[in-house]
Amino acid sequence: MILRTPSQRRALLERSRSVAVIGASRNPLRPSYTVFSYLRTQTPYTVTPINPTIPDIDGVAAYPSLAAYAQERSAPDIVDVFRKPSEVVEVAREAIAAGARAIWFQYGVVNDEAIRLADEAGLDVVVDRCIKVEYARFHGGLATGGLNSGVITSRREKPAAQ
């Protein structure tokens, strides 16, 4: 199902425990590093990079493929995608094959065929949204400048001990 509403995205984030970040980078200037690092340090998720060109990011072992990750750790709850739109049809197929429960296409990662494949396979699908921004929005991290975080308190949740 394509998750279009904030409440649907919030429910996905609340029921999920693991995130595999496809295309995570070691370069701290890249959004894929920033999101990976934030999710790993500020959320309760177990976050794993998927990138065949690097051994690890900040000491967290990277897997060369989603299949290798799933074989060793089982299917991730969310596959977070940082790839060119032209490359994500194959990522959607890999997520389906790995048994992922959801696929999250980051800002600008929009490919109608990949979205359709994931939706038809029964995955929860988030399109053109940032998982970091959505998590912060629902947990008090975007409560400045008039942004509606959807949280009634001004206190941020503390990340779970890892």
How far is residue 17's CA from residue 95's CA, in Å, rounded to a whole number? 16
- Reduce the DSSP state of residue 78 to 3 states and report it: strand
pLDDT of 140 reads 74
Using the CB atoms, write b or e for 7-42: b if 16+ within 10 Å: eebbebbeebebbbbbbbbbeeeebbbebbbbbbeb
Rounded to the nearest angstrom, the gap between the alpha carbon of residue 109 and the centroid of all alpha carbons in its chain is: 12
Tokens representing residue 49 in the block: 């990079």
The pLDDT of residue 146:
44
User: What pLDDT shows up at residue 137?
Assistant: 87
3-state SS of 81-119 is ECCCHHHHHHHHHHHHHHCCCEEEECCCCCCHHHHHHHH
pLDDT in tens, the chain (162 residues): 999 999 999 999 999 999 999 999 999 999 999 999 999 999 999 999 999 999 999 999 999 999 999 999 999 999 999 999 999 999 999 999 999 999 999 999 999 999 999 999 999 999 999 999 999 888 876 654 445 545 555 566 666 665
Domains with residue ranges and CATH for the chain: 6-138 (3.40.50.720)
- Write down the pTM of the prediction: 0.84
